[in-house]
Amino acid sequence: MVLELEVDLERDGPAAVLPRIETLLQRYPGTSALRFIRANALAGSGRIDEALRALSEQARDEPLNPEPHYGAAQILQQVGRIEEARAAYEAVLARSSFCAPIVIADVRARLETL
């Protein structure tokens, strides 16, 4: 389901997919992957503050999950909020035992360039 949404998001864009994501979240409200893809769709729609708020809520609800911090860091970096991005990347590293090695390498590389 989530993989299909990711493909559709890439192919059709956030405006087309966001309503489906919202419907699925009403049915499965605590689904981490759906929450994350919703935040990506919001960001892709230019709704940056909503995306960051969604990721912040996910991080609060899932304190060991590095993914919402990683997503927030990337968004913050893209919009030039560098100090906030740095803090979010550091939050990912603080949860590194729950990260894939490739994510840790990416975070370290991004921190070097900030």
pLDDT in tens, the chain (114 residues): 778 988 999 999 999 999 999 999 999 988 999 999 999 999 999 999 999 999 999 999 999 999 999 999 999 999 999 999 999 999 999 999 989 999 999 999 999 999
Q: What is the dihedral of CA 97, 99, 103, 105, to 10 degrees?
A: 20
Beta carbons of 33 and 42 less than 8 angstroms apart: no
User: What pLDDT was estimated at residue 40?
Assistant: 94
Find how far residue 23's CA is from the centre of its chain.
Answer: 19
State the DSSP string of the chain: -HHHHHHHHHHH-HHHHHHHHHHHHHHSTT-HHHHHHHHHHHHHTT-HHHHHHHHHHHHHHSTT--HHHHHHHHHHHHTT-HHHHHHHHHHHHHTGGGS-HHHHHHHHHHHHH-
Q: What is the dihedral of CA 113, 75, 53, 42, to 10 degrees?
A: -170
Question: What pTM was computed for the model?
Answer: 0.90
